[in-house]
Structure 1
């Protein structure tokens, strides 16, 4: 299928390299947020930060939670931007906004300036949270989709580990640079995104939706077959994309609200996305992510240096466990991974609550460090499943027509819930202490039941093939990708040839003859 289009010289010819740059570019969101969570954990421990702003419980929560406010706004105001300008450039502008916020945060002179800066950072990372998962899901090969999307949020702990080390190192500074320097370094990941993004291809599905078929096929080949547009697997996937998008366009395009009201499939997709948004924030992990210092104080560890050291070790532990969970995403499946993770973290959060009650005000070192061990086990259980699934599952269950808006809804909800719990937990920990963990554990039981009953498995399928699980029908006459990958290379051409014989005779849902996949 020869095309009069040459591979751009600035995009890597090797698919593995193109996919690697794609992942690194998209990971800016989670790395920045991970850095932010760990940085605020560290800053909330540092007297140079708390004394400079004269923080109370309310202003401590406001300074910490304001980043979620910006992300909530992004969920509303940025949802359609990836559909308008493309996934790639939507991610680019999200990174630019984040850098603007970082500069203001570093220069903050009072609480108001600090909060406004963090709202801008939140809007930038929220914008990236919409664009990055959609971009990766639509661009990388099926065999790499789980790893790529899971790594996207595994990088939370890369940012967290870096921030933990930085705040530990700056803690001994006597000036405000003890907290300004970590704030400034938060922008490095967005800068990396801006530098790398010119070397990545645009989403082939978005290009096809814009009628740019030749560019779409080329972008698909760049990440799947080292630029070979004649590769049978590329041909089949491109046909699936063309057919599915043509099917979606064959109906009068309703508004998102109307589609949500009239389509049970759309409602099911949004329900699944919303479960990920809520569960990933309300499993108890946000207590540890932002208020580890308070938890450790209640557990009996009051030395700030020791708390910072535990913060570093915890982030390293979570990074390792999340990578293990990522490696298991295709073996266990999305539903199995979520169920195992939720079941384990439920047990461990009850342990944290019980040990905090018994040993929190004691001098029993064994009990105190048993509490710390339970915190590590809980965070490890969360990291094993929910960290990879946070942005792996939502873009998989959303079809192209609602994928960007659906991720906007996801971003609004996940950050709205994050804002609520980040602001509320300091008051809960101060008021009821260990009972906070028990209440959260009871909620986690509900999460497990929902996952087991309602989740739909998506592993091993292209985004177009997943539609069959949710719509009950396939929207393409192309064979499934596994039918190509599971046969000898010399036989693949015969399957593609058989598909091509039908391409000009296909009748769409309106009964009109339409041509697809033109050379």
Structure 2
């Protein structure tokens, strides 16, 4: 960054929006958000993989080719992508911080494509080594993609739309799941032999390949450009997309100055190393929230259905492969609809409210799910089995209110720029570790305990609700830079914003005080 002296900017300039027109009537902003659809594809990779494994387990051809994997071996198949994601824990943030958000995303896409193709063509005589290597590569690529893509989204989106846009990102997990579920169903119904499982496996490369082509049409993060001293390029991005091409736009002038000054203050006062994650009390609270969010997103019972729906359905007497495939496909569509709807409500109700709604809703539905499973186990009641199926859909409806979208969105918005990439990687890493546990332990637990295994997740959900209520911080309102006030108080380093009053403003009051335009 340049050493040029910065000028303190009065936040009243932020009261002047770039345009009173909604985003779809602003040509450049509309173009940006339509291009972001390709960036959202980063989140489809693991969703595709989870649903793919569900679909493959319904295929006799896949089971025969891999000698009917069960128990710990099936758990290893499910856990390998998460292991791959964990393997790039130390590398991913340096790619996105050093090479840029776009290049980091592109590298991840290329690795996923390679991994998908490798696991599609394992040799017949000993398929495991090549298949497992392909699954690890899918996880590595996903870790890199998901460590860069959300950063670009949240850093280039207009502040008025940041919450919705960033929350939508991870809901596209379900788009990957839908494509995988219905492609597996199609080949199950219409094809035989190895093509039945090879085609949906190969299609895992499709969306990353599309993203690899179109990522270059998106602008680079203006915050990353400023951090590298590329001020003219950063200003050009903000002018084009946030100021409708008007270089004298008051909002863009404020935004550019605030970002630039904030990054300078961060650079002057703090390091960008891993120790910075725990150096201050504000950062320690951020890290604990990130860790809790990542664990809750994976260990709330959702992993049971995400990877092992076939085994869950077996416990309630639904063993027909076609029926299982249809339920898998229908569930993914339901989850996408619910999570997208929640993403558009994130600025209306706030993050903490949605987290709480999800936790309580999941606890109630999962408790009923467990009770009905117990009834079915003892009586074989068809009604109890149908009730379990209904609770699975309600459970995922409640989960969709928060965990798909906010796991990533909440993480990136509570972090300052200097540790944003590392903090997001921490989230990805903890989620991967939680996923490894879930994906390896769940099939063993289901095999040994059947429905009794569900009590573990009821206990987790109770703890989750308590922690959300007492510890989570609401971040609705402030700009990406100004959220620091909610964590660091008077010590927050925010360019152009006075934070020395010694008080922590609530998000709504803080935003209202500075006249920020919200929710256009």
Check conservation: 1:63, 1:111, Cα contact below 8 A: no
2:213 to 176, 183, 195: 195
Pairing 1:153–2:167 present: no
By how many angstroms is 1:439 displaced?
1.4
By how many angstroms is 1:478 displaced?
5.1
Question: 2:226 is matched with which residue?
Answer: 208
By how many angstroms is 1:425 displaced?
0.2
TM-score by length of 2: 0.88
Check conservation: 1:74, 1:411, Cα contact below 8 A: no
Pairing 1:89–2:106 present: no
Q: Secondary structure at the match of 2:401?
A: helix
Pairing 1:47–2:60 present: yes
Equivalences for residues 385-464 of structure 1 within 5 A: 385-464=402-481
Deviation string 1:146-188 (CA, Å, 9 cap, x unpaired) is 2211211111111111111111111142211111100111111
- In 1, the alpha carbon distance for the partners of 2:53 and 2:517 equals 49
Deviation string 1:49-71 (CA, Å, 9 cap, x unpaired) is 11110023222111122111111
Question: 2:182 is matched with which residue?
Answer: 165
Check conservation: 1:18, 1:223, Cα contact below 8 A: yes
2:81 to 67, 72, 78: 67
Residues 325 and 252 of structure 1, relative CA distance in 2, 3 Å threshold = closer
1:369 to 386, 389, 393: 386
- In 1, the alpha carbon distance for the partners of 2:451 and 2:113 equals 38
- In 1, the alpha carbon distance for the partners of 2:305 and 2:378 equals 19
Q: Secondary structure at the match of 1:463?
A: coil
Deviation string 1:210-248 (CA, Å, 9 cap, x unpaired) is 111111111122332233232211111111101111111
Pairing 1:34–2:47 present: yes
Q: Secondary structure at the match of 1:105?
A: helix
Deviation string 1:347-378 (CA, Å, 9 cap, x unpaired) is 11111111111113644222211110011111
- In 2, the alpha carbon distance for the partners of 1:217 and 1:304 equals 55
- In 2, the alpha carbon distance for the partners of 1:229 and 1:274 equals 41
Pairing 1:384–2:398 present: no
Question: 1:9 is matched with which residue?
Answer: none
Equivalences for residues 228-377 of structure 1 within 5 A: 228-251=246-269, 253=271, 255-257=273-275, 259-360=276-377, 362-377=379-394
- In 2, the alpha carbon distance for the partners of 1:254 and 1:303 equals 54
TM-score by length of 1: 0.88
Equivalences for residues 494-505 of structure 1 within 5 A: none
Question: 2:21 is matched with which residue?
Answer: none
Deviates more, 1:118-127 or 1:12-21: 12-21
Question: 1:176 is matched with which residue?
Answer: 194
Q: Secondary structure at the match of 1:164?
A: helix
Backbone CA RMSD of aligned residues: 1.8
